[in-house]
Chains A and B, each alone.
Chain A
């Protein structure tokens, strides 16, 4: 247990420290949210309808950015060998790395999401639900993204490969998350989508560590 806590501390220090990518992801998110209205035209009514969906799709793409660093750096410098050799099971090591990824980049992105939705014209009353769905969706993005990151280990242009593997897995949280927010905005029942989002993200957190550990073992052998 203590070993996993010190690993979490190290992962957070690496993500937030010099050369960490958490702020880049936020800047990328803000940049994408600025580009989309430029492309879609600036009529406020049209943008307001799109806002929650755009905020969620851009969130998914921004979550992709830091995935390449999740295992790749530790793989290249040999740290992954030593983490594999440690006393906690590799599955838990992978889960802790994804958790750190979520705290370091999913959390700031989720806090940014309502600001972006409101800036695009969504009513401010949606903000609490957007934060919660973005937080939950972020769990799904981090853990399913971890599978892609583990599978792409050692591949050249791994970042692109991760995106290709992971984007289909990002579809359900985008559908359910943006769907719940849009249903809420339209005064329709929003809980079913929200519950599906929660189920997807929790299932990803529970199951993906096994896939990640298998991918990592395969890469280092």
Chain B
């Protein structure tokens, strides 16, 4: 289990353009970090680099457990959730089918799925095709796998944007619960997170 995320002197580039250089960030268990910055500053790229989808130009991303450094591949495969702009949901499948698939893919249990359906009030949506869901309903469906398969590090890209007030509050409570259980959240946001979070500006340098 990941107990600490350490980003050391990280430089990211997309093609020819350098996004930021020399970023240092440590996230401890129970801590939330809000990444802020202008559009195109590299918030999403930073999340994808932590998830291992982008190779950094320089610097290092480490995951630490209670016994020291973890193997990055293993830590990523079993220890983090990435929720990006694209949620990976297939529009011609039902919400229930997609939820069960992604929960199983991330090693979630049947109880976890039931818990997620309950926590995000997804029950009335399960038989609907994903294409018929609104943006907020779709986001709730994507968030469900975070609850269905407990993992310590959540990487969230604008998680609240399409949610209505009631669901923001609901997801805020789930985030608070995740942090209280020793989880970590790194979220790219424009609006403040509903939990107390350290703000880190990306691309300011």
Contacts and interface: CB of A to CB of B under 8 A. Distances in A.
Interface of A: 2-3, 6-7, 10, 13-14, 17-19, 73-74, 76-87, 220-221
Q: Is the interface of B mostly helix, strand, loop or mixed?
A: loop
25 contacts: A2-B104, A6-B101, A6-B105, A7-B105, A13-B93, A17-B92, A17-B93, A74-B88, A76-B86, A77-B86, A77-B90, A78-B87, A79-B86, A80-B88, A81-B48, A81-B53, A81-B88, A82-B82, A82-B88, A82-B106, A83-B105, A84-B53, A86-B77, A87-B78, A87-B107
> Considering the complex of A and B, which 5 residue pairs feature the smallest CB-CB distances, nearest first?
A78-B86, A79-B88, A87-B77, A78-B88, A82-B88
B93 A14 contact: yes
B51 A85 contact: yes
Interface in B41-58: 48, 51-55
A4 B76 CA distance: 18
B93 A86 contact: no
A130 B137 CA distance: 50
A221 B55 contact: yes
B89 interface: yes
Given A77-B89, A82-B88, A86-B105, 17 more contacts: A3-B107, A7-B105, A14-B92, A18-B92, A77-B90, A78-B87, A79-B86, A80-B88, A81-B53, A81-B88, A85-B51, A85-B52, A85-B80, A87-B78, A220-B53, A221-B48, A221-B54
Contacts, number: 69
A68 to B, nearest CB: 16
Contacts of B105: 3, 6-7, 82-83, 86
A86 B78 CA distance: 8
Best-buried of A7, A78, A83 by chain B (most CB within 10 Å)? A78
B72 to A, nearest CB: 12
B18 interface: no
A87 to B, nearest CB: 4
A14 B92 CA distance: 8
Interface string B53-81: 11100000000000000000000111010
A221 B51 CA distance: 11
A80 B91 CA distance: 15
B106 A86 contact: yes
B101 A81 contact: no
B107 A82 contact: no
Nearest to B104: A6
B77 A85 contact: yes
B198 interface: no
